[in-house]
Structure 1
């Protein structure tokens, strides 16, 4: 079985996001998206149960995005592919999906695994767009995943008021949530091994993707960026015997009770 895990290099969630003069996210100093680690873990669990499974990690991004691929390889997997081209800068979700789909056609996967979203964009659109481009069935927001010997992937999806059990034949695109199982932590041996695993770099020309369809030609444009307003101080109510009544009064005014 050939599995490709789509991963992303994102700004560290612990730092304040920065933006360039072109209103793009400043990706200097980033990491593998934490949600992507759950997709990587699911691929590695298939390796443990299906002999002969090969896992390739795939990303689209600037040169520094190779760090995300090395992190994924340190967790496990056989190889990585980095699509990097100056013309990609500024691409939105549709443009990113177009590039990823072109790379995936070249890799010919039986199963494409993605996270439910990236920690920077958070659109959750790319997995569905990939399925459309590749003409594959999509199973999204999986909290459980399993593979049958007959070539069927099954998931459990937890909706707001119900639980759905869905299945699709391979090849397919599956996105997973952070409830599907804790990702493994890279071991020292895995980190050292990752440095020797093959990591290919492809350009847009390698994939026959016209530069005029990505980057500056993105369908969405950010006109301005406004910083989040500072958090207002809360109200402190000293309790001198009337705290309960005052709290009930506040909740009533806000129509919470």
Structure 2
């Protein structure tokens, strides 16, 4: 069974994000970029499934310009077998990404698609669900545990009320949550080997997918600065301020 893992290039989680002066978007010039943390978890889970003998090949895919090859090579160094770059300069929206992934999954005849539940830049949490709908595959979102048994995959999902266990017929789509695993680090020998692993390129046109945006961004602004806190001398004073000033108690 082949596993397809979606990888997104995002601003490193440790970098302070800044809005452009014209409020058209986020400043990306000279900013450290990295693999989306949830995508790292997806890569790790796919590699573990292969190491357990449940998969024959792990394929990583990312859409973007040549810069995203850095993240694909990192994924190869972590243990993926080969990579696919969908070459585009478009600022892709979730539906377009889902259509592209659907086309790649069909072309590669994969048995499982694993991806992060969301990216830390858009925070949309849409692409996995859209992909499952387009591909007609069952989905297990917010996965905190995954186990393959015969032609089924057992997924423990993190939901508002606790944990939910579902059994999905393969092929399926899984989106990963934080507690699924702890991603490994790439060793130097594997980083060197990754340079020789295949990285194929394909365009949205070759996949037959229209990636033109359906939504337009009107303006991007930083969140308002938080007001300074206040020190209180007693619980009584705190309760009084919560009643009279904050209005959160009656």
- 1:228 maps to which residue? 223
Contact map agreement 1:11 1:17 (CA 8 A) in 2: no
- 1:160 maps to which residue? 160
- Deviations along 1:35-62, whole A, 9 cap, x unmatched? 1111111101101111662101011112
1:90 Cα deviation from its structure 2 partner: 2.5
1:26 Cα deviation from its structure 2 partner: 4.8
* 1:255 correspondence with 2:222: no
- Deviations along 1:113-166, whole A, 9 cap, x unmatched? 011101111111000111112111111111111000x21101111211132110
SS of the residue 1:35 aligns to: helix
- Structure 1, unaligned runs of 5 or more: none
Q: 1:65 to 1:22 in 2, by over 3 A?
A: farther
Residues 78-89 of structure 1: matches in 2 within 5 Å? 78-86=81-89, 89=90
SS of the residue 2:215 aligns to: coil
Question: TM-score, with normalisation over the residues of structure 2?
Answer: 0.90
Looking at structure 2, the residues matched to 85 and 159 of structure 1 have their Cα atoms a distance apart, in angstroms, of: 35
Q: 1:106 to 1:7 in 2, by over 3 A?
A: same
- Larger CA deviation: 11-20 vs 152-161: 11-20
Looking at structure 1, the residues matched to 205 and 23 of structure 2 have their Cα atoms a distance apart, in angstroms, of: 25
Contact map agreement 1:11 1:26 (CA 8 A) in 2: no
Q: 1:232 to 1:32 in 2, by over 3 A?
A: same
**RMSD of Structure 2 on Structure 1 (CA):** 2.0
Residues 179-218 of structure 1: matches in 2 within 5 Å? 179-209=179-209, 213-214=210-211, 217-218=212-213
Question: TM-score, with normalisation over the residues of structure 1?
Answer: 0.88
- Structure 2, unaligned runs of 5 or more: none
* 1:116 correspondence with 2:152: no
- 2:102 maps to which residue? 101
1:193 Cα deviation from its structure 2 partner: 1.5
Q: 1:96 to 1:51 in 2, by over 3 A?
A: closer
1:72 Cα deviation from its structure 2 partner: 1.2
